[in-house]
Amino acid sequence: MALVPAHVILADARRRGYGIPCLLAGNLEMTIGQIQAAEELDAPLILAYNSGVTPQVSIALAMPAIANAARQARTPVATILDHGGTLDEVKEAIALGSSSVMFDGSALPFEENVQATAEAARLAHVAGISVEGELGAVGGSSVELGASDAAVSSMTDPDLAAEFVARTGVDVLAVSFGNVHGVYRGVPRLDLERVRAIAALVDVPLAMHGASGLTDDQYPPIIRSGISKVNYYTAMARAVSHDLRDMLADAPEEGLVYHRIISASIDGFYAKTKELLTLLGAAGMARNL
C-alpha cells in the first residue's frame, strides 16, 4: 500500500480496539520478515529504528532502507525513530524520510519535557508526519538485559498526561504503568486502571514500551485498557537467536555458510511477527484502512 504516518493506523487501532506492534528493524532480515508477515495477514505494522540496539547500523543507512521497504509493502506500514533523545535526531529522521518520530523527554522535568516535545511536534507536523512523546519513565533496557529497572521507572500521572498532550500536540503518547524494557524479573505488575484513566482523559493513541516477555493471556487486557501501539523486541529477538543457535549447532560443516543464516533470520522474524500480529488482534485490520 504505502508508507503511512503512525497516527493514521493507530487511530483505527484505538477506535476498533486492537494493537499494532512496533518492531525494531535493525537490518534487512528483520525488516523483510516482519513485512512479509504483515502482508500475509493483511495487518498494519510499525517499524522502528533504535540506535542503541544497532549502533553499528547508522540511521543514515537504516531509515531510508526501512522507509523504502514500507513504500513497497502491500499493507500500510509506518516507520518511526524510537526513543530519539535530541531534536537533532528528530530532524535527521525527518530528513531521511521516516513517517513518524518519537522524542523521548521522559528523563526531563515536566516543563522541559513539554517544551522540547512541543518543538519536536512542530518539526514533525511541518513535515506532515506523526510524533510520539513519553511521560513517565519506562525502566529496564532492551540493550543491557541485566539492567535494573526499579530505580528509573516512574508511572505516568493521568492528569499530567492530559496536560502534556494538550500542550505538546503529540499524536501518540507513551505511558508508564509498570511496563519495563527488556526482561521482566518476577511477576509483572501492570497498573491497567492507570491506563484506563489516561485513555479516558486524552484523545490520542497510547503506546506501551517494554511489551515483550509477557504471557499470551496478558495482552488482551492490556489492549482493552487503552493501549494501541505495542513496542516489542526482546522476546522476539531472543527466540530467533535461540533458533539460529540450534540450527548452527545441528548443521554439518559444509552447511555453515552465511546466506543460510540470512534466510533463517528472515524466516524467524516472519514466523514470530505472524504470531504477534494475531495475538494483538491486528490480523485482517489493514482492510479497514
- Identify each DSSP E strand in 159-261 by its residue range: 172-175, 180-181, 206-208, 227-232
Maximum Cα–Cα distance across the chain:
62
Using DSSP bridges, classify how beta strands 77-84 and 45-49 pair: parallel, antiparallel or unpaired: parallel
Residues whose CB falls within 8 Å of the CB of residue 64, separated by 6 or more in sequence, listed in order: 96, 97
The cell 505538546 sits on which residue?
168
Cα(43)–Cα(37) distance, integer angstroms: 8
Catalytic residue of the set 12, 42, 82, 216: 82
Residue 116, amino acid: A
Residue 23, amino acid: L
191 is catalytic: no
C-alpha pair distances (Å), 110 with each of 44, 163, 242: 33, 10, 41
Q: Distance from CA of residue 276 to its chain's centroid?
A: 13
Q: Give the residue numbers annotated as catalytic, written as ranges.
A: 82
